[in-house]
Amino acid sequence: MGSETAPVGVNPALLELAKTDLAQRLSVAANQITVVSSEYVDWPDSSLGCPEPGMAYSQVITPGYRFILQYGQKQYDYHTGLRSTLVLCTK
């Protein structure tokens, strides 16, 4: 469980960063996190699809990835840019 490799075209370092972040938030081992899906996405602005109320974002297409991770019965929606920017989207 949790030993999946990144699909072709997905940055494996970002996927591992998301798994590590979730594992730390939940106080579990990263190998207990399952990758449900991962895909390349062109976000409509620099909020990476997770705008926070009251914040301003650059209105530019921002390439990145969406990772759906799972621990137990709950799924978690991570959005990234192409580098190290990572957001756990809770909307």
Place of tokens 């990144």: 6
Identify whether 7 is part of a domain: no
Identify whether 4 is part of a domain: no
Residue 25: CA count within 13 A, CB half-sphere:
14
pTM over cut 0.75:
yes
Identify whether 5 is part of a domain: no
Q: Look at residue 76 in the predicted model and tell me its pLDDT.
A: 98
For residue 64, the tally of other CB atoms under 10 A from its CB is 23
CATH number, domain containing residue 71: 3.10.450
Place of tokens 């580098």: 83
Q: Look at residue 1 in the predicted model and tell me its pLDDT.
A: 41
Residue 1 contacts residue 19 (beta carbons within 8 Å): no
**Could you list the pLDDT tens digit for every one of the 91 residues in the chain?**
444 445 556 788 999 999 999 999 999 999 999 999 999 999 999 999 999 899 999 999 999 999 999 999 999 999 999 987 899 998 6
Pick the closest to residue 32 from 20, 43, 47 (CA basis).
20
Round to whole Å and give the CA distance between 15 and 60: 23
Number of domains in the chain: 1
Q: Look at residue 7 in the predicted model and tell me its pLDDT.
A: 52
**Three-point CA angle 86, 87, 91, nearest 5°:** 160
